[in-house]
Structure 1
Amino acid sequence: MNKKKWILLCILIVVVMILLPLSLSLLFALITALLLDGAVQRLQKHLKFGRGLAVFAAFTAYVALLGMIGYFTVKVVFDQFVSFASSLPEIIKEVYASIIQPTLTKWEQVQETIPRGVVQSLEESFTAGLKSFEEGVNGFLNSLLDFIAFLPGFMFEILIYLIALYLFSLELPRLKRMIADSLTEKTKEKLTLVLEELNKAGIGFVKAQIFLSALTFVMAFAGLSILGVPYTVVLSLLIVIVDILPILGTGSFLVPWAIYAFFQNDQALSIGLVILFLVITVVRRVIEPKIFSSSMGITPLAALISLFIGFKLLGFIGLFAGPALVIVFDTLRKARMIRTDFKF
């Protein structure tokens, strides 16, 4: 009998692993329903709402909050993006007049004093650079078209997510009873402990990410405002996005900008951008392990190692998967489902 149970469990795990990538909307809906269940229960307890009315109230408030955040974010970003796009031709013209044209003029004067072989090699390198730049622009445009094509499917996924969230919220007590009835008391105790720890760590992880991103946005917005840079909201959001990537995330945005400002003879802006880059990078890297450790209940060293190894192995996804695996392992160890008290 035990053997049959293990076989069924293995089959179930394989099926879940196959279906999980195809059911992310449903998975996120279930997780959200679990997170909102506390609010639903409080409405039932304090306001004496029935389950259906409590779920409807919590769901409506959640959707309204998402809608407000989405509306204001899209509005601000769209307005500043349109303003930036309208000034882009002038920026390109200025770059050509102040950097490209003087460089070409100097090159025409200098190339007469350089051996022909060196000139040819430099011209080939320049041509290769232009080709790479052209390929990069084409890649960006293709990515933009792919994103536009992706939007209808994304909106459909959002619709499925919201419908599933509402239905999961309604059915959550029955789902919990079904799972509880199929488990022994000992297994229920362990599973309850695991779920409580994972829920606590998961909420802590989300809070840590939101706090770090908000801190980065504030530092970027304040720094760009002091430097008198336009489109501060859009640029600060871009800095937040690239800063999620570890090591030198903001460097891929701020350093080229600082170099451009230097060639524009705007040394104050160039130095200011470098200082802003250093401040954001140092502050984030110093407090990141501490924030993760205090939010998720793991040590700063474990948080730092999990972030670093996770990124090295899985890239961006590893930033989430690394700490998550540490949390799962630590939770299973506390539930004594994994034994670590052995000796060699």
Structure 2
Amino acid sequence: MESQYDKKKHFIVNTVYISLIVILVYIFLKYGLSLISPFAFATIIAYILNKPAEKISKSLKIPRKLVSFALVLIFYAIIGIVISFIGIRFVSGISKIISSLPSIYEKQLGPFLINISERIKDAFYNIDPAIVEMISEGFNQFVSSLGEHITNFSLSLLGSLSNIASVLPGFFVKVLLTIISTFFIAIDFDSLVDFIKRQFSPKVNKMMDNIRGYFVNTLFVIIKSYGLIMLITFIELSVGLSILGISNAILIGFLIALLDILPIIGTGGILIPWSIIELIQKDFGTGIGLILLYVFITIVRNIIEPKFVGKQLGLHPVVTLMSMFIGTKLLGIVGLFGFPIALSLILHLNSIGVIKLFKQKNT
């Protein structure tokens, strides 16, 4: 019978072992992932296209390598066209808004603030003229300073767009590496898989197949869950923008729903600046409506996201929310998706006996 000392010893050893693995994985994801990301993305894309390539090759009696080459070419052509269309429209729209900020201040916000100043001065004139003079002087300084800040802000934003353009060469190098790697991996996919399998024992290969199958299934489940969340967000945006009388509400709702998946931008990155501009232009109905729409979408998403994702992954909503929050803080968008998937994988491996971290419920 195992002694109390041995149990404690095993617990400490397992805890240290798991902690080291977690630390190494974190260091790799934090600092090493960007180095191998082109090849990782290439492998994922090649894996996705592998089964369609096999089916097409068998049904049409065409060499598999030729089919793989054609599928990769078609895949990147479609992706390139879609990204180019959305990117050009988005950057063009943002640039116009940023460029128009000084003009909006000069024609809309400035006169609006001056009008408020005059009303305040009229209200205080009969009480104490000295207060009116002090208010007038302070307000003039405020308006002048605000105008300078808005101009500098718009110039800095335009400068930021230029800075983004300066890092594009490095980005395009990674994209080019990804595309070239995808062609090579897709063409020789079976040979590469066979080579990797030969390096491990049958037991390890079985475990790797189990992990791969569960990971792929989980990844598709995540895509399905977020696809449903994006659909709900798209419906909310389309209905809300239509009620507010926004032209092209469905197209705008679709584009914002695509950005909603990103933690940095989200719906707030579009709706909040948009509402501020509408309020400055004295369109209070649209401005307040956009703010209320953003609040409604945010509340709905915070309720349904942990439930949808957690249910599909077999995690409690609180655990899902916690893993998503910690993952986002540590690794950004990679952590947002990676942490819930990793936690689900750990629970799966524990349930089938590959690892023993948590006690199972007796059935």
**1: CA distance, partners of 2:27 / 2:263:** 32
Equivalent residue for 1:63, pick from 76, 81, 95:
76
Matches within 5 A, 1:92-107: 92-106=105-119
Distance in structure 1 (CA, Å) of the matches to 2:25 and 2:261: 35
Asked if 1:215 is matched to 2:246, the reply is no
- Deviation of 1:300 (Å): 3.3
**Corresponding residue pairs, total:** 333
| Alpha-carbon offset, residue 182 of structure 1 | 1.5
1:224 is aligned to: 241
1:32–1:165 CA contact under 8 A, matched in 2: yes
Listed as ranges, the matches of 1:21-100 within 5 Å are: 21-74=34-87, 76-77=89-90, 91-100=104-113
Alpha-carbon RMSD:
4.1
- Alpha-carbon deviation of 1:231? 6.8
Match of 2:213 in 1: 196
Moved more, 111-120 or 277-286: 111-120
1:7 corresponds to which residue?
none
Identify the residue that residue 339 of structure 1 maps to in structure 2: 356
Q: Which moved more, 1:101-110 or 1:202-211?
A: 101-110
Decide whether the 8 Å contact of 1:81 with 1:234 is kept in 2.
Answer: no
Alignment correspondent of 2:338: 321
TM-score, normalisation: structure 1: 0.76
Task: Tell me if the contact between 1:99 and 1:264 (Cα under 8 Å) persists in the aligned partners.
Answer: no
Stretch moving more, 182-191 or 118-127: 118-127
Counterpart residue identity of residue 34, structure 1: Y
What SS does structure 1 have at the residue aligned with 2:167?
A: helix
Q: C-alpha offsets along residues 258-308 of structure 1, whole Å, 9 cap, x if unaligned?
A: 465456553432342233123312322222123213444444343222223
1:146 to 123, 141, 163: 163
Distance 1:21 1:271 in 2: 41
CA positional deviation for 1:314 = 4.6
For the residue of structure 2 that corresponds to 1:49, the secondary structure is coil
Q: What residue in structure 2 maps to residue 241 of structure 1? A: 259
Percent identical among aligned pairs is 25
AA of the residue aligned to 2:70: A
Q: Deviations over 1:294-331 (max 9, x none)?
A: 44444434322222333345555432233133133224
> Which residue among 174, 195, 200 is the counterpart of 1:183?
200
* One-letter code aligned to 2:74: A
1:56 & 1:223 partners in 2: Cα distance? 44
Gapped regions of structure 2 (runs ≥ 5): 1-20
Give the conservation status (yes or no) of the 8 Å contact 1:202–1:296.
Answer: no
Q: Which residue of 1 aligns with 2:328?
A: 311
* Structure-2 change in CA distance of 1:119 and 1:257 (3 Å): same
Moved more, 277-286 or 186-195: 277-286
C-alpha change, 1:231 and 1:132, in structure 2 (3 Å) is farther
Matched position secondary structure for 1:228: coil
Contact map agreement 2:105 2:147 (CA 8 A) in 1: no
Check whether the contact 1:37–1:169 (CA below 8 A) recurs between aligned residues: yes
| SS class of match (1:340) | coil
What's the secondary structure of 1:338's corresponding residue? coil
* Structure-2-length-normalised TM-score: 0.73
Preserved CA contact (<8 Å) 2:65 2:188: no
Distance in structure 1 (CA, Å) of the matches to 2:75 and 2:55:
15
| Matched AA of 1:56 | F
* Residue identity matched to 2:78: L
- The whole-number CA distance in structure 1 between the counterparts of 2:57 and 2:65 is 10
Read off the aligned partner of 1:244 and give its amino acid letter: L
Counterparts of 2:253 and 2:106 in 1: how far apart (Å)? 21
- After superposition, what is the alpha-carbon deviation per residue over 1:103-146, rounded to whole angstroms, capped at 9, x for unaligned? 45456665956499999998998888778756654542332111
What's the counterpart of residue 291 of structure 2? 274
| Structure-1 residue corresponding to 2:301 | 284
8 Å CA contact retained: 1:25, 1:158: yes
User: Which of the pair has more CA radius of gyration?
Assistant: 2
TM-superposed CA distance for 1:23, in Å, is 2.2
- Label 1:182 to 1:335 Cα distance change in 2 as closer, same or farther (>3 A): farther
